[in-house]
Amino acid sequence: MRKASLIQFARQVIKSSSSNCRFFSSSPSNNKLFVAGLSWSVDEKSLKEAFSSFGKVSEVRIMYDKDSGRSRGFGFVNFSSEDEAGSAKDAMDGKAFLGRPLKVSFALDRVNREAMSTRHSNKGTTFSHSR
DNA sequence: GTTGAGCGTT
């Protein structure tokens, strides 16, 4: 048996069980990585360049503050495979990036954009009529 | 010009 097969086996169990994946894997997410401890001057392309060295980065999302426009100091990195995500996490977690110790862990899937807004079917009232 | 644990749409 291979250790890679163990991961694939875990994924099948995750797909089979809707929410019990926490018991089979230490990672709540497969290829989504939560990156914190960043400097406030770090942007998405910098993190992508840093993490793409360990694997194929599919998406990089850094959270910014809408009140000040500056970065909140944390973000998310999506990898093409969980193996690369785990390698990047194991490699970048605890290391330093732009002068600050990096904190990398698996991300919690907070929301799916596909199921986000579809509730605007309510079109009976019109606020534009206020005068 | 600032600050420093965290899990999301800026």
How confident is the model over A62-90, as pLDDT tens digits? 999 887 888 899 999 999 988 888 889 98
Query: SS3 of A78, please?
Result: strand
User: Strand A57-64's sheet: what is its strand order?
Assistant: A57-64, A71-79, A32-36, A103-106
Q: Which nucleotide in the DNA or RNA is closest to residue A68, CA to C1'? A: B10
> How high is the pLDDT of residue A127?
53
Q: Is the pLDDT of residue A37 over 80?
A: yes
Cα A90 off chain centre by = 15
> How high is the pLDDT of residue A131?
28
- What's the average model confidence in pLDDT over A3-18? 58
Are the C-beta atoms of A56 and A81 separated by less than 8 Å? Answer: yes
Q: Is the pLDDT of residue A49 over 80?
A: yes
Strand B nucleotides, any atom under 7 Å to a protein CB: 3-10
How far CA A6 is from CA of A3, A12, A59, A92, A96, in Å, comes to 5, 10, 26, 23, 31
Q: Is A38 exposed, middle or buried (0-12, 13-18, 19+ CB in 10 A)?
A: buried
> How high is the pLDDT of residue A108?
87
> How high is the pLDDT of residue A111?
66
Please report residues contacting nucleic strand B, using a CB cutoff of 7 A: A 29, 32, 34, 36-40, 61-66, 70, 72-74, 76, 100, 103, 105-113, 116
- What's the average model confidence in pLDDT over A100-117? 77
Question: Which residue gives the smallest C-alpha to C1' distance to B8?
Answer: A110
- In angstroms, the CA A105 to CA A76 distance is 9
Spatial distance from the CA of A65 to the C1' of B2 (Å): 16
Lowest mean pLDDT among A1-15, A35-49, A76-90: A1-15
More confident residue, A110 or A91: A91
